[in-house]
Amino acid sequence: MIGYLDIPSGLSGDMFLGCLVDAGWPVDHLIGAIRKLGLPQQEWSVTAREVSKGALRATLVDVQARETSAHRHLKDIRRLIESSDLPQIVKKQAVAVFVRLAEAEAKVHGTTRDKVHFHEVGALDAIIDIVGTACGLHELKVQTLYCGEAPLGNGWVEASHGRIPLPAPATLELLAAVKAPTRPAPGPGEWLTPTGAALVAELARFEQPPMHLARVGIGAGQRDADWPNVARLWLGEGKSAGPMVQIETNIDDMNPQLYAAVSEQLFEAGARDVWLAPVQMKKGRPAVVLSALTPASCREAVCELIIRETTTFGLRVHDVQRLEARREHKLVETPYGSLAVKLKWLDGELLGASPEYDQCQELAMKAGAPVRAVYEAAQAAANHLVQANGAKTGGASRGS
């Protein structure tokens, strides 16, 4: 699953949450994720409702925080997130967003990121926005996020440091760090907040991808304007990324513990798949074949990364072609909770559905049940979904 953030009226953290909830992420899951942070329940609340922004329907997520002090250091926020039992990828992404914020604030105020006192962006509502967004993207199975041009307006705003010009200095630093494309906002004022800028700077690529569009989530901003103050999250499957290449190398002298980190970096560099296979090389030495399937456009970046991060001296590069069935994710209910199943379409025919194992594992841990029991319940729900939607039409996606 890929996502594209269309932000004609900018973005804030609660608008991003609105997009995710409107796209099918239950607000109860958002509330459950925040509870895992161990925050005092009386200090925060989250609600969602349908509203109209101009002529458009949208979901407004209202985050209320009632704490007395919001002056936190990066280490305080890192400890809060990392001590929770949220999924590891959610914790990693949320912390990374706050690190970006700290670095931007440090540059603006001429200090270091560890000495920065978070003010507005360290408040409970910003923590809820950032952790919630990372969790929503994870549960909706958005593997790659893209974003359109950042709309920036002029004017002034009152902040904890006093009156500052718009765009906010931290917002500009966040966008400059990733060379984000910008355009004028539809009107004066702050439409892209530092929290929104940090989320897209860390989690998104600033480009519009070719995709098979499946659904759209529309999140509402708090303010009313002369135009619809909304952001839209397009969800679907990526179309062919053009020519593909398979890059591989044999390695017999590297610490096996390093392969996980290399694989993760390869995915971040654009690889569509990464795998390891055991082989026996000359002189009877055991080795591993590291392979990466990637768009030809990412070939140089992936090759350079493998050379730099492994002990290999050379690579093999092959042109390959692929045929893909179209994928679609749907939420199903089980006795253990809701989770996503992956539907498989080919030439308009729904061929089957399978549960997402990671979500089965998470539900099993929460329920204290065997993973096998949760998986079987999810598979039964998936089979029912196939039977109920077998006559539904869908298209195939063929990529090279």
Which string of DSSP letters, residue by residue, matches 269-290? TT-SEEEEEEEE-GGG-EEEEE
**377 pLDDT higher than 90:** yes
Predicted local confidence at residue 70, as pLDDT: 57
- pLDDT-based confidence at 331, cuts 50/70/90? confident
Q: Are 296 and 252 in contact (CB under 8 A)?
A: no
Residues of the domain holding 221: 2-238
| Residue 298 and residue 170 share a domain | no
Q: Looking at residue 283, which CATH number applies to its domain?
A: 3.30.70.1380
In a domain, 395, yes or no: no
Nearest to 60 by CA among 20, 5, 4: 20
Q: Which of 288, 305, 320 is the last residue of a domain?
A: 320
Rounded-to-integer distance, Cα 238 and Cα 375, Å? 27
Rounded-to-integer distance, Cα 51 and Cα 335, Å? 32
Query: pLDDT tens digits, residue range 257-316?
Result: 999 999 999 998 889 899 999 999 888 889 999 999 998 888 999 999 999 999 999 999
Domain count of the fold of the chain: 3
| Residue 295 and residue 315 share a domain | yes
- pLDDT-based confidence at 67, cuts 50/70/90? low
Q: pTM of whole model > 0.75?
A: no
pLDDT mean across residues, the chain: 89
Longest CA span, the chain = 74
| Residue 265 and residue 372 share a domain | no
Query: pLDDT tens digits, residue range 127-144?
Result: 999 999 999 999 998 988
| Residue 138 and residue 181 share a domain | yes
More confident of the two residues 50 and 115: 50
| Residue 199 and residue 137 share a domain | yes
DSSP 210: P
Query: pLDDT tens digits, residue range 205-241?
Result: 898 988 889 999 999 999 999 999 999 999 998 776 5
In a domain, 396, yes or no: no
Predicted local confidence at residue 392, as pLDDT: 42
In a domain, 107, yes or no: yes
**382 pLDDT higher than 60:** yes
In a domain, 187, yes or no: yes
| Residue 146 and residue 114 share a domain | yes
In a domain, 398, yes or no: no
| Residue 158 and residue 13 share a domain | yes
DSSP 298: G
In a domain, 171, yes or no: yes
Mean pLDDT across the stretch 22-50?
94
Rounded-to-integer distance, Cα 249 and Cα 308, Å? 13
Q: Which of 320, 349, 380 is the last residue of a domain?
A: 320
Rounded-to-integer distance, Cα 63 and Cα 80, Å? 19
More confident of the two residues 74 and 375: 375
Predicted local confidence at residue 119, as pLDDT: 57
Predicted local confidence at residue 283, as pLDDT: 82
Predicted local confidence at residue 255, as pLDDT: 94
In a domain, 86, yes or no: yes
Rounded-to-integer distance, Cα 360 and Cα 381, Å? 12
Which two three-digit tokens encode residue 209? 């991808």
Query: What is the CA angle 259-263-265, rounded to 5?
Result: 120
- pLDDT-based confidence at 369, cuts 50/70/90? very high
Q: Are 191 and 10 in contact (CB under 8 A)?
A: yes
**393 pLDDT higher than 50:** no
- pLDDT-based confidence at 398, cuts 50/70/90? very low
In a domain, 330, yes or no: yes
- pLDDT-based confidence at 121, cuts 50/70/90? low
| Residue 60 and residue 113 share a domain | yes
Query: pLDDT tens digits, residue range 341-352?
Result: 888 887 777 889
Rounded-to-integer distance, Cα 90 and Cα 94, Å? 6
Q: Which of 182, 215, 238 is the last residue of a domain?
A: 238
User: HSE-up of 399 (CA within 13 Å, CB side)?
Assistant: 22
Q: Is the dihedral of CA 309, 312, 313, 314 positive or negative?
A: negative
Kindly report the backbone phi and psi dihedral angles of residue 44, in degrees, each rounded to the nearest multiple of 5, phi listed first: -150, 160
| Residue 188 and residue 85 share a domain | yes
Residue with tokens 């009386």: 42
Mean pLDDT across the stretch 145-170?
89
Mean pLDDT across the stretch 75-88?
92
| Residue 291 and residue 258 share a domain | yes
Instruction: Please report, rounded to a whole number, the percentage of residues in the chain having pLDDT higher than 70.
Output: 92
Q: Are 237 and 328 in contact (CB under 8 A)?
A: yes
CA distances 58 to 23, 160, 208, 223, Å, are: 10, 31, 22, 13
| Residue 368 and residue 283 share a domain | no
| Residue 335 and residue 313 share a domain | no
